[in-house]
Structures are given as C-alpha cells and as structure tokens.
Amino acid sequence: MDDRSGSLLEIGKIVGTHGLRGDLKVRPISGDPEMLLQIEQVHMRLPTGEQLTAKPCRQSLHKGQVLLRLQGFESLDQVERLVGSSILLPEELLPQLADDEYYWHQLDGLKVFDARHGEIGRLKTLYSTAAHDTYVVKGDYGEVQIPAVEQFIREIDLEQRIMRVNLPDGLVPEKK
C-alpha cells in the first residue's frame, strides 16, 4: 500500500480496543461514521509508519464510534498494537458531497481571513462536537477556534486556498 501519491485519505483513528475478541474503537475524522460502516477493505497506517491492509468481518456503531473487527486480528493481543493507527480510504471511494460541503484534506492548511482582523492564520485541525465541527486556526493570534457554521464562514475558495470568515467580538484574542 502506498499513499505518497495522496490517493489514500484519513477517515478515522483507532482510539482503543473493546472487549476480548479484537474489536477496535474507531473515531471518525468527520464525525460521520457512515464510510467506516461500509468499507470493504481497511487500510491502516500504524503509529510506527508501517502500513497494513485487512478485511473487516464486523462493523457496528457504538456510542458515536465504530467498532471494527478485522479478519486475522480477532483477539485483544493481536489488536493492541493497532491502537493509534489511522484508517485510510482511497480518495476515489469517497462519496460526492454537496456544493457547500468539504472533506478535511481539501481544507487543511487554508489561509483564514477575518473581515475585521485580516489574516488570522492557517487552518490546522478540525474536531467534532455534538453541535457542530470546529476549525482550529493557528497564526499571529495564537490558536483561534471557529465554529464551522454558516453564520461565521463567509466563503471557502479552494482554488486560492483561502477561507473568509466574519467572527464575533471576543473570538479572536489580542495579537501576540
């Protein structure tokens, strides 16, 4: 398996084990577990950098995460070394999104400009909450967390690699 071409994209992270039969707890990157429940082959990048491919023999939803059991990895001893691994999916298998939806790999690294403060930094990470996703921007203002909701995000221009936002008072700290 080779993802140097950029064709394999991270869709989840193995965050722990569950039970004694080798189930893995996988946190979806997007907050949407659907892709993880439907994949027919699991590509993993282990914390060591090693890459593995396995077929799932069980996939189920459990408390907002996916429980995943892989063929050939059906005991706790066999799966403990997989904790911390990234779950990857070939880009061509990603479903089409609506015009106002994006995959993380499209947004990662965008320059973020606020209507009042100008450039506030680059989009570095994303995390999901029960209410919405939150973008984390790092730059001259330190770390700025921006709710990924329509009222704050004015424009995303993938060609120019910029995001324009209109943030409320207090969300951007004083410049460091």
Walk me through the domains of the chain, giving residue ranges and CATH numbers. Answer: 8-92 (2.40.30.60), 104-165 (2.30.30.240)
| pLDDT reported for residue 176 | 58
- 107-121 pLDDT per residue, tens: 999 999 999 999 999
Separation between Cα atoms, residue 81 and residue 132, nearest integer Å: 32
| pLDDT reported for residue 128 | 75
Between 28 and 82, the more confident residue is 82
Average pLDDT rounded to a whole number, residues 150-176? 89
Name the phi and psi angles at 6, rounded to 5. 85, 5
> Among 57-61, 89-93, 94-98, 164-168, which is the least confidently predicted range?
94-98
Q: Residue-wise over 66-75: b if at least 16 C-beta within 10 A, else e? A: bbbbbeebee
The pTM assigned to this predicted structure is 0.64
Q: Identify the three-state secondary structure at position 102.
A: coil
Residue 63 · residue 8 · CB < 8 Å: no
Would you mind telling me the total number of residues written for the chain in this entry? 176
Average pLDDT rounded to a whole number, residues 157-170? 93
Residue 111 in tokens:
């320059």
- 42-79 pLDDT per residue, tens: 999 999 999 999 999 999 998 878 999 999 998 999 99
Residue 79 · residue 73 · CB < 8 Å: yes
Separation between Cα atoms, residue 116 and residue 124, nearest integer Å: 21
Separation between Cα atoms, residue 151 and residue 96, nearest integer Å: 24
Q: Can you tell me which residue has the tokens 């004694």?
A: 20
Percent of the chain with pLDDT over 90: 56
